[in-house]
Structure 1
Amino acid sequence: VALTSGRRLRKVVGTFADLEAIAGKTGDDYLRVIVRSDARAGLAEDVRELFGENTVDVMIQTDADVQLGLDPRAHETRSPKELFREYLAEKKVSDERVLALFDDLFEEEHASAPA
């Protein structure tokens, strides 16, 4: 089947006020939105309300994230094991049995998941 049309996926980054200013001006594009704001309950829902069903993903980037140079999408290139190992290090858990249990459970879940 030949594709005759498509919709762009656009990344939009800004404060909530910045996003309000462009609401209704993004056309038919699918949107991945990064909001630079303090985290608060309902923020993602407010962003989805601005852009409607075209909103594919909403990430919140706090001032602390910006100061530390943290990329809200950096986790996408790392394996679940790497992410869990980093989490354990942050929590100061150094028991290798916990990581081994995670590996076992992860493998078990993915072995039984439908293809």
Structure 2
Amino acid sequence: MDTQAQIKEIITSHPVVLFMKGTAQFPQCGFSGNAVNILRASGVEKLHTVNVLEDAAIRQGIKEFANWPTIPQLYINGEFIGGSDIMTEMYQSGELQKLVKA
């Protein structure tokens, strides 16, 4: 399976997917840690994370998949939502909480 197909399978198999540096328990960058905290505060119970530091093909592939240059990247119900800044804005406006409950 090629990397793009693998990424598509991951994001369609789980309602909330965060491609991040490190894990939810041990984020390896501040932006990834912020993203996990925002998702937890938004009421996400089943967060599926993908540690891009463990797989160079996924790390590069996810940037191409969404045409988005940075990590973390959030997907909800197969849709690309954005990175840490967008998640922060959406959380502050209450939009993210609505999305994860839907």
- Report the TM-score when normalising by structure 2: 0.25
Higher relative contact order (CA 8 A, sep 6+): 2
- Report the TM-score when normalising by structure 1: 0.23
Structure whose alpha-carbon radius of gyration is higher = 1
